[in-house]
Structure 1
């Protein structure tokens, strides 16, 4: 199979945008992604598109993919809507890689979009809840905050993880998000802010939970046969892994791990021919602070039970050995369900292109993105590698 490369990626600001529609947000992200391609790209070059969205609020549930791609001038190409809850556009990225590797496309678009702030809080809770296990979780009143609170409780009980470890994730990600002009909650918070915030679902406070967000993101994936037309500094998507699991938390053997993340990471590492130690930075799915700690362990950044110590050590901060969520993560950058996975690819593209500004990881040549659906019913991991040193053209 052919190699696949990321040649362009961009997102809208994430936040609350009452004057925008899902079409207008997608257009902004798509046009910015086209503009981000180093040597330029003609939208007519796009052979196929995959668009992740949950459809919060019920807008255009059917054919929402073609609705946005036609709006940006990509009519006539195959377009598939991808729904895997919060992992929708992460899986859209995987589909784009598959299309390119298989030879079905030379240029594929992976995007995502969501509007979440124009409905009532009760309606938004409903649309978020549809990705939970219906009979025994959602209809019995369990929220996603409640599900992740159970995971946090279990991790605390088994490994001695503390509330301060959870709050340290929030402090780190808000510090990064304050450096990201696209972030929804682009401000810093203190450990005391996070610890003393209102409780959402014990032990999770408000600062341990991501916001509901509007936004869109797009990534352009091309084959090895045409990559030289678009860039002299290729970013190869060297590994992709994906897995599914039982949708309900209560159906799983453990509350202190997300098996789908472990399997997706294993597959991606094997395809890339690397180990977790080779990763320079990572964007992981931190819908709740405990989710980031679980990701550290599931992706092999530390042993089970050591995530609290890892975040406490500063290793995952900017300037640490392996910065995590340099964008601010879902916690600070925001979590527009269908756009989150593609948004992670945007951050990886910026880091590997040396264009991440104040949050740039110096010398980064290899990054990872990790996108989870629900409480772990689906997960997808991408490994991306810069093939040349920054500023050195391919010969």
Structure 2
């Protein structure tokens, strides 16, 4: 939380191209993202105190992550932070970096994420290694875990497959206005209904796609952020909540209240409520998740989010500006919810081009993992 000390602001953001990125290396795209975000912030690399990122590639102390980042950036660092909570990591990284800047422990931290992965065959092999031979051989991977939660969500709140389809269609309409979005072909409900089933009730367009790419966010003092001449985007508040091991108990994932607890801490520290917010960046690897999260973070009541989707209120021109870059469903999923942070910053600063929302003041970004036992919430403000 950042309601003490000198405060912290986001001064610059950057995303690399998304897609296969043939010939690029993992470290290559991460460095591009860092340098791009620093250029956007008008901050020199020599001013960077630290790096915050997700998950470690370290195999031993000889190649520890802080030393690796100091080598990649060719300068000593005074701060390094790494969070390993899957899709909740990126918001937590931004919040932790902001807390350290606000406390005066460092001045400028780059939050960075991304990857370069191999062929589809190599990705499947990696998933099999990560999740166990029985999970892989019997098909119990991410889509099937989330499908079980989606079915229970449907049962409790009378949500149909068409309600999920409206979320995918809305995301695609936003993505049509983002030049980096991977899925930019117009999508209709007829297309969604005709798409192959992945894991009932999730069809092809209810699922995000894995892709390569990277992105970065520069967190610094409000004074430094003002150098750009743009309104600083303040990290106004944050919250986190981590509950039981979600992969072993997906059927009760809706009952823990982790998203609500994380969001409530963020609302208290920011001094605002969900109804004060104009922009929602809700991590969406599957189409039902934005509906569930809109309800759990307090924007609407159970069942109401599906009605908003059906009425077209989540699409451009609707009453809820949700994932205006196209989200993981259409923009891409290389950097998880860090892309939602970056889009929120661009929107708050009036730099979202054709998808610009009218005069937003507050944004909330919520990421999750586990599949639903790890949560982080960040409230951003233009001020």
Q: Which residue of 2 aligns with 1:282?
A: 280
Give me the whole-angstrom Cα distance separating, in 1, the residues matched to 2:370 and 2:294: 18
Give me the whole-angstrom Cα distance separating, in 1, the residues matched to 2:193 and 2:217: 36
Question: How much does 1:17 deviate?
Answer: 1.4
Aligned pairs, number: 376
Aligned match of 1:41 in 35, 40, 43? Answer: 43
Q: Which residue of 2 aligns with 1:331?
A: 329
Give me the whole-angstrom Cα distance separating, in 1, the residues matched to 2:239 and 2:134: 29
Superposed counterparts of 1:1-395, under 5 Å:
1-2=4-5, 3-37=7-41, 40-53=42-55, 63-64=64-65, 66-68=67-69, 70-118=71-119, 120=121, 121-126=123-128, 129-130=130-131, 141-224=139-222, 226-231=224-229, 233-248=231-246, 251=249, 254-256=252-254, 259-336=257-334, 339-387=335-383
Question: How much does 1:115 deviate?
Answer: 2.2
Deviations 1:155-211 (A, max 9, x none): 222221000011111111111112111222233211111111111101111110000
Question: How much does 1:144 deviate?
Answer: 1.3
Question: How much does 1:5 deviate?
Answer: 0.7
Give me the whole-angstrom Cα distance separating, in 2, the residues matched to 1:31 and 1:252: 40
Give me the whole-angstrom Cα distance separating, in 2, the residues matched to 1:297 and 1:245: 19
Secondary structure in 1 aligned to 2:90? helix
Secondary structure in 2 aligned to 1:87? helix
Identify if the C-alpha distance between structure 1 residues 138 and 119 changes in structure 2 by more than 3 Å, giving closer, same or farther. closer
Identify if the C-alpha distance between structure 1 residues 255 and 317 changes in structure 2 by more than 3 Å, giving closer, same or farther. same
Structure 2 contact 10–345 (Cα < 8 Å) conserved: yes
Give me the whole-angstrom Cα distance separating, in 2, the residues matched to 1:358 and 1:341: 22
Structure 1 contact 52–89 (Cα < 8 Å) conserved: yes
Give me the whole-angstrom Cα distance separating, in 1, the residues matched to 2:167 and 2:49: 40
Structure 2 contact 279–321 (Cα < 8 Å) conserved: yes
Deviations 1:125-171 (A, max 9, x none): 336x54xxx79977975211111111111122222100001111111
Question: How much does 1:24 deviate?
Answer: 1.0
Deviations 1:253-299 (A, max 9, x none): 74446622211111111111111111101111111111111111111
Structure 2 contact 313–319 (Cα < 8 Å) conserved: yes
Secondary structure in 2 aligned to 1:340? coil
Identify if the C-alpha distance between structure 1 residues 229 and 144 changes in structure 2 by more than 3 Å, giving closer, same or farther. same
Give me the whole-angstrom Cα distance separating, in 1, the residues matched to 2:103 and 2:136: 39
TM-score between both structures, scaled by the size of structure 1: 0.87
Give me the whole-angstrom Cα distance separating, in 2, the residues matched to 1:147 and 1:90: 23
Structure 2: gaps of 5 or more residues: none
Q: Which moved more, 1:118-127 or 1:136-145?
A: 136-145
Give me the whole-angstrom Cα distance separating, in 1, the residues matched to 2:127 and 2:79: 32
Question: How much does 1:226 deviate?
Answer: 4.2
Deviations 1:285-326 (A, max 9, x none): 111111111111111121012221121122222222221010
TM-score between both structures, scaled by the size of structure 2: 0.90
Q: Which moved more, 1:302-311 or 1:350-359?
A: 302-311
